[in-house]
């Protein structure tokens, strides 16, 4: 979590002040429930809430001595609250506060991420509609395959991030639990009603059965979801990076008037934003293995997960938030070159129609094997002549081929090389997604 790749709205969630404020809200809510149960005197929660100020420096000072963060916090509260402090944390254990707080923070972070995904979906939808019929070459293994549209590339990403939104909603739902069950989770020293009250007050669900901690499979699912979203970001970023290469040049990141691309080569316009996104995605994915390993804790509790979560929770959410919002900017300002797409599409003189030609021959009672051989022979001639002084046109080669021309008329051959054939179902695909 470094300023360069952070937004204040997300980093604020992980600041000590916010964490301690959440701790106070948990303790006060527990006291309110205890009042209802007549475990503590009426008005205790209100008195504590009014006086429950804390000093972060003082908490850190106490922790240096006693080596326990929650007790350091409670000690500082007692210094400010006075006599009513004896009722704070009654029947609770540290994990009740720490785990419930962490889940609140992850829920808050998830909400911000959802807002970012919504903005990204809007940007992708607009770009998909704008370039619905902007024809470009589709590539398989990086090699020219058949025509598609740039809009379809954006539409596919749109649908992928719709799935990611659903995944994130599910992950937030799963992580939004509260545990106020006391030592080893048996409610021996605290009434289950307190947990139910705190959960409702803080807009969480009760953890059905906890040990001394909230089970970490929930957190593993959350961080795994963030990693999937990060991978989707990198997939789209990689597509843009490939399409911006000099020999392709079908799209480009926006390049401002005074922007510099290279310290040594003034002509350079590098895809730095999408390269950056590829790197940030790796950081988010790196949290998955530690999160999975955190599931395996000893007996009812250990703290081997604690140091891990103090690192990966802020780093993953902050980094992903920054990445999502950077990608929104990239898509909104993306420069698209339809004329370059057309140039690349026609680069090999109609080779992209080879499959249709193959299929037409099979419809004329020619075996698939024989059809494939005849088409490939001509295709390879056109392929190998690319860049030479006399590049061979695939369509012209087919018209001159004695075997093929004996089966297909000139008009039938010309019809095969019709771009509209590949576009005929684009509207149907869009209707599936956008209605």
Give the confidence band of 386 by pLDDT, cuts at 50, 70, 90.
confident
pLDDT at 72: 97
236 occurs within a structural domain: yes
Widest pairwise Cα distance in the chain: 103
Distance CA 252, CA 167 (A): 30
Q: What is the mean pLDDT of residues 126-137?
A: 98
| pLDDT score of 266 | 83
Mapped onto helix, strand or coil, the DSSP state of residue 379 is helix
Is 50 within a domain? yes
Q: Is the pLDDT of residue 308 over 90?
A: yes
Which of 57, 87, 117 is the C-terminal boundary of a domain? 87
111: helix, coil or strand?
Answer: helix
Each residue of 346-382: pLDDT tens digit?
988 899 999 999 999 999 999 999 999 999 999 999 9
The CATH number of the domain holding residue 378 is 1.10.40.30
Statement to judge: residues 290 and 394 lie in one domain: no
What is the mean pLDDT of the segment spanning 142-165?
97
Which tokens belong to 117? 């995904």
Residue of 90, 128, 97, 112 whose CA lies nearest to 12:
112
Within a domain: 128 = yes
Per-residue confidence band for 236, with pLDDT thresholds at 50, 70 and 90: very high
Is residue 427 in a domain? no
Average pLDDT over every residue of 388-397: 84
The CATH number of whichever domain residue 65 belongs to comes to: 1.10.275.10
Q: Which residues contact 286 (CB under 8 A, 6 or more apart)?
A: none
Lowest mean pLDDT among 108-117, 149-158, 385-394, 398-407: 385-394
Q: What whole-number percentage of the chain has pLDDT above 90?
A: 92
The CATH number for 149's domain is 1.20.200.10
Split at pLDDT 50, 70, 90, the class of 265 is confident
pLDDT of residue 16: 96
Q: Which of 62, 87, 112 is the last residue in one of the domains?
A: 87
Give the model's pLDDT for residue 392: 84
The model's pTM:
0.94
Q: Do 193 and 320 belong to one domain?
A: yes
pLDDT score of 176 more than 90:
yes
The predicted structure's pLDDT at residue 200:
98
Residue 399 within any structural domain of the chain: yes
Does any domain span residue 211? yes
Residue 394 pLDDT > 80: yes
Q: How many CB atoms lie within 10 A of CB 9?
A: 15
Q: Are 356 and 336 within one domain?
A: no
Position 329 confidence tier, pLDDT thresholds 50, 70, 90: very high
Residues spanned by the domain of 225:
94-255+267-342
| 183 close to 189: Cβ distance less than 8 angstroms | yes
List active site positions. 141, 262
* Distance of alpha carbon 245 from alpha carbon 228, whole angstroms: 26
Question: For position 328, what pLDDT does the model report?
Answer: 98
- What confidence tens digit (pLDDT) does each residue in 184-234 have? 999 999 999 999 999 999 999 999 999 999 999 999 999 999 999 999 999
Domain count, the chain: 3
Residue 239 belongs to some domain of the structure: yes
When pLDDT is cut at 50, 70 and 90, the band that residue 261 belongs to is confident
Same domain? 27 vs 156 = no
- Same domain? 212 vs 359: no
**Is there a single domain that holds both residue 239 and residue 277?**
yes
Q: Has residue 70 been placed in a domain?
A: yes
- What was the pLDDT predicted at 168? 98
Average pLDDT score over residue span 330-334: 97
User: How confident is residue 75, by pLDDT bands cut at 50, 70 and 90?
Assistant: very high
Co-location of 241 and 309 in the same domain: yes
- The whole-number pLDDT of residue 194 equals 98
Same-domain status, 151 and 8: no
In terms of domains, do 315 and 367 share one? no
The model's confidence at residue 260, banded by pLDDT at 50, 70 and 90, is: confident
Residue ranges of the alpha helices (H) in 143-216? 150-175, 192-201
pLDDT surpasses 80 at 385: yes
pLDDT digits (tens, 9 = 90+) for 282-297: 999 999 999 999 999 9
- Mean of the per-residue pLDDT values of the chain: 95
133 and 29 in one domain?
A: no
Are 1 and 315 in contact by the 8 Å Cβ rule? The answer is yes
Residue at a domain's end among 37, 72, 87: 87
Q: Based on the domain organization, do 71 and 174 belong to the same domain?
A: no
Task: Specify whether 251 is located in the same domain as 396.
Answer: no
Binning pLDDT at 50, 70 and 90, where does residue 390 land? Answer: confident
pLDDT of residue 83: 92
Pairing of strands 205-206, 177-178: parallel
């Amino acid at each position: 979590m470094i300023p360069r790749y952070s937004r204040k709205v997300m980093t604020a969630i992980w600041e000590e002040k916010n964490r301690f404020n959440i701790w106070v809200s948990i303790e006060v809510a527990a006291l309110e429930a205890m009042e209802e149960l007549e475990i503590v005197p009426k008005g205790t929660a209100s008195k504590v809430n009014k006086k429950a100020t804390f000093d972060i420096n003082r908490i850190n000072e106490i922790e240096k001595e006693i080596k326990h963060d929650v007790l350091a916090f409670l000690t500082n509260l007692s210094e400010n609250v006075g006599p009513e402090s004896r009722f704070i944390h009654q029947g609770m254990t540290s994990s009740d506060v720490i785990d419930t707080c962490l889940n609140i923070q992850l829920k808050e972070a998830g909400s911000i991420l959802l807002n970012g995904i919504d903005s990204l979906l809007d940007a992708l939808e607009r770009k998909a509609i704008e370039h619905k019929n902007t024809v470009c070459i589709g590539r398989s293994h990086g090699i020219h395959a058949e025509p598609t549209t740039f809009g379809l590339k954006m539409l596919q990403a749109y649908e992928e991030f719709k799935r990611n939104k659903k995944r994130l909603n599910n992950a937030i739902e799963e992580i939004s639990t509260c545990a106020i069950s006391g030592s080893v989770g048996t409610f021996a020293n605290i009434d289950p009603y307190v947990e139910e009250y705190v959960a409702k007050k803080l807009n969480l669900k009760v953890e059905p059965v906890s040990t001394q901690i909230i089970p970490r499979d929930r957190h593993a699912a959350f961080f795994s979801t963030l990693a999937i979203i990060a991978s989707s970001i990198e997939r789209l970023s990689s597509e843009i990076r490939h399409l911006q290469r000099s020999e392709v040049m079908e799209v480009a990141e926006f390049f401002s008037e005074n922007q510099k691309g290279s310290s040594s080569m003034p002509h350079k316009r590098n895809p730095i934003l999408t390269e950056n996104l590829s790197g940030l995605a790796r950081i988010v994915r790196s949290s998955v293995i530690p999160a999975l390993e955190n599931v395996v804790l000893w007996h009812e509790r250990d703290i081997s997960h604690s140091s891990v979560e103090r690192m990966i929770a802020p780093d993953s959410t902050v980094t992903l938030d920054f990445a999502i919002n950077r990608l929104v900017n990239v898509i909104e300002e993306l420069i698209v070159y339809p004329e370059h797409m057309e140039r690349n599409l026609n680069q090999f003189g109609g080779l992209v129609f080879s499959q249709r030609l193959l299929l037409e021959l099979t419809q004329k009672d020619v075996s698939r094997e024989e059809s494939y051989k005849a088409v490939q022979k001509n295709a390879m001639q056109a392929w190998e002549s690319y860049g030479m002084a006399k590049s061979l046109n695939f369509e012209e080669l087919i018209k001159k081929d004695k075997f093929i021309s004996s089966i297909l008329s000139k008009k039938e051959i010309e019809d095969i090389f019709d771009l509209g054939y590949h576009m005929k179902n684009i509207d149907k695909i869009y209707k599936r997604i956008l209605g």
